[in-house]
Structure 1
Amino acid sequence: MEYRRIKDQDKDEDSIHDDVESLRGKPHSGSPKSIVALGGNSGDRTKWKRKSIVTLALTVLTSSQAILIVWSKRAGKYEYSVTTANFLVEALKCALSLAALARIWRNEGVTEDNRLSTTWDEVSVYPIPAVLYLIKNLLQYYIFAYVDAPGYQILKNLNIISTGVLYRIILKRKLSEIQWAAFVLLCAGCTTAQLNPSSDRVLQTSFEGWMMAIIMALLSGFAGVYTEAIIKKRPSRNINVQNFWLYVFGMAFNAIAILVQDFDAVLNKGFFHGYSSITVLMILNHALSGIAVSMVMKYADNIVKVYSTSVAMLLTAVVSVFLFGFHLSLAFFLGSTVVSVSVYLHSIGKLQR
């Protein structure tokens, strides 16, 4: 019932948008309607600019995310606690959201849409994506025992499949035939990029790596679709308020993870044991990436998010050549090309729906 109400609300918004478009098509020079149309065009340009900025920011941040995780290792191991790092990421995102809200309160005052006080019904939906992101983020560290940074970015594109399927199941949004064909190309591209003809092993990534990648894709897809649904349920609600409550639950679940997994290590060695400047940069990158993701979900959708991730895949591979001596094989080049084409077809298919 919850998602049906969200779907109905989306239909109402689409009908309003169609009405505005029909008004723009009628020449009423100098009339109030033409003024509204001009204002609407200005608003569309503002939204397009904002969407472009957050998408570009997400692409750049995502491209360096895997590199920083690999770089934070010492002798192939994490000397710091990954649970404390995740907790600090959530805490930093929460602090940044509060800082943005403080600025809004100072300039615009406290309103119904930007105040933190709310009802339990609104807040109660945030623990679900918070715990999903917790598990996904922990897996994100351990998967690098089986894949390198460019390979990780290739495998991350599997979340396009989970996102598309969950869009259809949960939000009841139909996908075009072009988009489903793009999914098939995506699988082919991911497999091609992982081919290793110089070894007795066909795929560079082991079975454990593939399983972790698939689980991460399912968790990321479900958490992303669910988060987009609850964020867009109330479009006028300030995104920083929604982020704040999501990150509060994220901090709570990560605190539990510290107690369960690393309590003795934190107690004996300290909360910041093993941290380096690279670790700090990684935490900052993850925090800014998380905020950029929520912005993309608010002003665009999950498909735009995974599109930026695929572009980031290419940037990661290029940078890894200089930092880690990564070899751009023909299989990786062809696989990356197929993945990029599949993402392009996916976006074209969405526009033609």
Structure 2
Amino acid sequence: MASSRLKYMSLGVLVFQTTSLVLTMRFSRTLQSEGPRYLASSAVVVAELLKILTCVLLVFKEHSYSMRALNSILRQEIAHKPIETLKLAIPSGIYTLQNNLLYVALSNLDAATYQVTYQLKILTTALFSVSMLGRRLGVYQWLSLLILMTGVAFVQWPSESAASEKEDLSAGSQVVGVTAVLVACCSSGFAGVYFEKILKESKQSVWVRNIQLGMFGLVFGLFGMLVYDGERVRESGMFQGYNTLTWTVVALQALGGLVIAAVIKYADNILKGFATSLSIILSTLISYFWLQDFEPTGVFFLGAVLVIVATFLYGYEAKPVPNPSRA
């Protein structure tokens, strides 16, 4: 009963986190306000720092709030195992790139189009799973990937309303947004499978692994911030343009990886697909009624339905048919 409660609680939090992050991030990047807009690279750095602190607290809780035990675990698993720790540098760097790309994508795409297109990460994850983990996909999964690609193609299909709005958009902004999403999908697929491979090859706590990821993510994030926004940071500081909405975005982004870890632990693929589909529907409705930056078309609606169907189908596992002769 408790595990069932945890399962649905983790999925509920996933729906809330996914939907809220996309909408608040989109709103924060398009909101017209006085003063400079916050730096996306800075938000990524702060999110990594929050993630590290949260994971440290979770490890602290796992060891009965003992500072001695926490110190021992961190030294044994991180400081004394440099090779194991360094393995996390690759996915961490890719995740840092991905997090920055999501800000680029939502600065140029409406929330609904972003949410549906980003589901292509299912395709990239599946392909990397086959090539890196030797995983075999069933007929339903291959069929779902075909439906997924068709659905995303429909979502990106140009419409008359989109053509008439081109004058209001900066040149190539739609292309920039879609390109950012596609690169993020590829990076998400590779980093996710690589991280899964590392988790399966070791017995370390998932929270300790997330601390290692966060450490490298913090270093890469700081480097990226200084390279791309160094001058602006020196002029107005790292926290320029921060407000309540910005801190909400940062907190939701930090929560993301931890929620996924909880879902992997307590739920299954079918329920995760249900949560993703519900998030797409909510994002589309809120993007249309609240943000008012999205006009749904029949082609978009068809594409979104296909993506939702594909998400469900990918998590479906055909049950073996019972043999009557053995009944």
1:72 aligned counterpart, secondary structure: helix
SS in 2 for 1:244: helix
Q: CA deviation at 1:298?
A: 4.9
CA contact (8 A) 2:91 2:194 kept: yes
- Distance in 2, Cα, partners of 1:110 & 1:301: 35
Asked if the contact 2:109–2:178 (Cα under 8 Å) also holds between the matched residues in 1, the reply is no
Q: Is the 8 A contact 1:68 1:278 kept in 2?
A: yes
**Cα deviation, residue 48, structure 1:** 5.1
What is the CA–CA distance in structure 2 between the aligned matches of 1:200 and 1:106, rounded to whole Å? 56
Residues 312-323 of structure 1 mapped to structure 2, 5 A cutoff: 312-323=279-290
- Report matched runs for 1:130-169 at 5 Å: 130-169=92-131
Partner of residue 240, structure 1: 207
Q: CA RMSD in A?
A: 3.0
1:308 Cα deviation from its structure 2 partner: 3.7
For 1:263, the aligned partner's letter is: G
Query: Which residues in structure 2 correspond to 1:243-322 (within 5 Å)?
Result: 243-298=210-265, 308-322=275-289
Q: Given that residues 10 and 266 in structure 2 are in contact (C-alpha distance below 8 angstroms), is that contact kept between their aligned partners in structure 1? A: no
Change (3 A) 1:254 1:200: closer
With normalisation by structure 2, the TM-score equals: 0.83
Q: Are 2:154 and 2:302, in contact at CA under 8 Å, matched by a contact in 1?
A: yes
TM-superposed CA distance for 1:304, in Å, is: 6.8
- Measure the CA separation in 1 of the matches of 2:269 and 2:216: 21
Instruction: Say whether 1:181 aligns with 2:143.
Output: yes
Question: Which runs of no fewer than 5 residues in structure 1 stay unpaired?
Answer: 1-44
Which amino acid letter does the alignment assign opposite residue 20 of structure 2? S
Structure 1 stretch displaced more, 63-72 or 47-56: 47-56
Q: Which amino acid aligns with 2:218?
A: M
Q: Distance in 2 between matches of 1:264 and 1:173?
A: 46
Equivalent-residue separation in structure 2 for 1:182 and 1:300 (angstroms): 20
Aligned counterparts of 1:255 and 1:350: Cα–Cα separation in 2 = 46
Q: CA deviation at 1:201?
A: 4.6
**C-alpha contact (below 8 Å) 1:163/1:302 kept by paired residues:** no
The answer as to 2:172 corresponding to 1:216 is no
| CA 98–107 in structure 1, closer or farther in 2 if over 3 Å, else same | closer
- Where does residue 307 of structure 2 map in the other structure? 339
- Residue aligning to 1:65: 21
Where do 5+ consecutive residues of structure 2 fail to align?
167-172, 321-327
- Give the count of matched residue pairs: 307
Compared CA separation, residues 297 and 240, structure 1 to 2 (3 A): same
- Kept in 2, the 8 Å contact 1:296–1:304? The answer is no
Q: How many angstroms apart in 2 are the aligned matches of 1:215 and 1:223?
A: 12
Q: Select between 72-81 and 272-281 the one with higher mean Cα deviation.
A: 72-81
Distance 1:48 1:65 in 2: 26
- Contact 1:225 1:302 (C-alpha < 8 Å) held by counterparts: no
Q: Name which of 49, 56, 74 aligns with 1:91.
A: 49
Give the secondary structure class of the aligned counterpart of 1:272.
coil
- 2:9 maps to what in 1? 53
Per the TM alignment, residue 50 of structure 1 is displaced from its structure 2 partner at its CA by 3.6
Tell me the equivalent position of 2:133. Answer: 171
Change (3 A) 1:328 1:125: same
State the distance in 2 between where 1:86 and 1:94 align: 13
CA shift at 1:95, angstroms? 0.7
Correspondence for 1:101 among 59, 79, 103? 59
Q: Could you tell me whether the CA contact under 8 Å between 1:149 and 1:316 is conserved in 2?
A: yes
CA distance in 2, matches of 1:295, 1:155: 24
**Matched residue type, 2:95:** Y
Deviations 1:232-272 (A, max 9, x none): 3335x322212111111111111111221111211110111
Deviates more, 1:65-74 or 1:151-160: 65-74
CA shift in 2, pair 1:331/1:147, >3 Å: same
Percent identical pairs in the alignment equals 28
Cα distance per residue 1:91-137 (max 9 Å; x no partner):
0011111112222223589779x922221232121111110011111
SS of residue in 2 equivalent to 1:348: coil
**2:280 counterpart letter in structure 1:** M
Distance 1:98 1:185, change over 3 A: same
Alpha-carbon separation, structure 2, partners of 1:71 and 1:123: 37
Question: Which structure exhibits the higher relative contact order, with contacts defined as CA atoms closer than 8 Å and separated by 6 or more residues?
Answer: 2
In 2, the alpha carbon distance for the partners of 1:109 and 1:161 equals 43
- The Cα shift of 1:305 comes to 5.6
Provide the TM-score with structure 1 as the length reference.
0.78
**1:179 CA displacement:** 0.7
